[in-house]
Amino acid sequence: MKKKIGISYTETNFQNYWNWFTAADLGEDLELIELSFEKNNVKDIELCAGFLLTGGIDVTPSFYDGALDYPGQPDFFLPQRDEFEKLIYEYSQVFKIPVLGICRGMQYINILEGGKVLEDIGQANLIHQKQAEDKVHSIHIGHNSMLYAIVGVQNGKVNSAHHQGVNSYNLSNNLISNSYADSPDQLIEGLEFKDKTDKSFMLAVQWHPERMKEKEINPLSQKLKERFLEEIKKMEK
């Protein structure tokens, strides 16, 4: 039986996440499954050997005691999505299943681990918020981090499309930053567990590896994907 990778449904560019995993990546051993708050296919969560939490609309502020009104606030929130992805993440931690979080996915993992997000990053939007295309900026990766061990570089260029973020003041006590934006805002670009003892693989990044230019050769996309797939293949289910 093939191991299943559960990709959480997003209303924004879902197909990019799906297409990131090529037929060569999946081979004869792996297959993708959509985990959708709209379908509420909760039982399918139990079938998965890995989870990808995607980007998309802001997390409902009540989930992290955030401001009820802020710049850039969407016209509506999707608390049903927040609840559904909370079930995914909690399941992953109980049963030690690999997780990769992207953009909103990173922010939400920080929230679920007891942290918060900046409702709007203000002037930093000039560096991070998508206009016609993703913004591109430099990041610095900590050399003692799991992220560095995976990608093998301390500096790189990433694509950016967000107006919320995580910094050292709202970071969960359970997590550490593995990378920062090379800019005055010093926004966190990646998270991993502070104490990895008895934990499964969890890596979260603020950029969008699934739609980076030259993603097949950029280690900040390709190496992340390869490691995520390796971790899934180790799973018994």
- Kindly report, residue by residue over 94-141, the tens digit of the pLDDT: 999 999 999 999 999 999 999 999 998 887 556 567 777 888 889 999
pLDDT of 186 = 81
pLDDT of 127 = 58
pLDDT of 59 = 98
Average pLDDT for residues 201-224, to the nearest whole number? 96
Nearest CA among 59, 54, 64 for reference residue 209:
54
Average pLDDT for residues 80-93, to the nearest whole number? 98
pLDDT of 211 = 96
Query: Which pTM was predicted?
Result: 0.95
Name 233's Cβ contacts closer than 8 Å, sequence gap at least 6: 3, 29, 30
Burial pattern 51-89, b for ≥16 Cβ within 10 A else e, equals bbbbbbbbbbbebbebeeeeeeeeeebbeebbebbeebb
pLDDT of 125 = 59
pLDDT of 236 = 83
- Collapse the DSSP code of 1 into the 3-class scheme (helix H, G, I; strand E, B; otherwise coil) and give the result: coil
Domains of the chain: 3-233 (3.40.50.880)
Helix (H) or strand (E) holding 226: helix 219-233
Report the C-alpha gap between 124 and 11 in whole angstroms: 25
Q: Return mean pLDDT, the chain.
A: 94
pLDDT of 128 = 60
Average pLDDT for residues 63-76, to the nearest whole number? 94
**Residue 235: other Cβ atoms inside 10 A:** 17
In this predicted structure, the answer to whether residue 165 has a pLDDT above a threshold of 70 is: yes
pLDDT of 185 = 76
48-53, strands of its sheet edge to edge: 30-35, 3-8, 48-53, 99-102, 202-205, 188-193, 175-181, 135-141, 155-160
In this predicted structure, the answer to whether residue 156 has a pLDDT above a threshold of 90 is: yes
Average pLDDT for residues 73-83, to the nearest whole number? 97
In this predicted structure, the answer to whether residue 201 has a pLDDT above a threshold of 70 is: yes
